[in-house]
Every structure is written in C-alpha cells, then in structure tokens.
Amino acid sequence: MCGVNRISPRRTTFWLEPDITVAGLRRMQRKFGWPAERLGAQSLTYAFDFVGYQGGQRTQLVSCEVKPTRKPVDLLVALMTMQGNRLTGVKQSYLVGARP
C-alpha cells in the first residue's frame, strides 16, 4: 500500500462538488427559467460540471466548472484569460501575476 491508503483508519472527507452541481442546476432552472431537459450534470466531453444546452443538446450555451476553493478558481480564470489572450492577440492579462 502507498499514499493515503496506508493511513488507518482513513479520514472521512466530504466532497462538495456534487452538491454545488445540483444547486447550480436548480438555480439555472428556478431563477433563470432554463428548461430542465436542456440542462446537464456533466458536459458531453466531461470538461465541465454542469451545462446548459441549446435545443437538441448539441451546443453548450453555458458551461460551468465547480472548484472546491478560491485558489483553483483563480488558477482556472488565469488559464482561461491567458488562452483567450493568445486567441485574440491581446498581449497583457488583466490578472496581475497570472501564470499557469
């Protein structure tokens, strides 16, 4: 055995991602009137945690990713900003010190 499996008894952990995903889907439906049949708890490519589709569930109009803390959210935003800058030719990120 290696890693955390060697610890006995194992620590019990609670993963918030499924709860946040369900809450996000509910909010999309209740607050924003998104039809339930056009919501998904996982994107077709598993890249996002919940999505809102255009009719026919082919085109994602809303893609949402759940992160457990602020640090991975900030990293995701920085990576998305840098990729967007590369695609659009923008030379400088609006996030100071953003790096992959």
Q: What is the pLDDT of residue 39?
A: 93
Q: What is the pLDDT of residue 4?
A: 55
Cα 47 to chain centroid distance, Å, stands at 8
Backbone angles phi, psi at 2, to 5 degrees: -140, 165
Print pLDDT tens along the chain (100 aa): 455 556 677 777 777 888 889 999 999 999 999 999 999 998 888 888 999 998 876 788 988 988 888 899 899 888 888 888 888 876 655 555 544 4
If one counts every other C-beta atom within 10 angstroms of the C-beta of residue 74, the result is 13
Q: Are the beta carbons of 25 and 34 closer than 8 angstroms?
A: no
Evaluate if pTM is beyond 0.85.
no
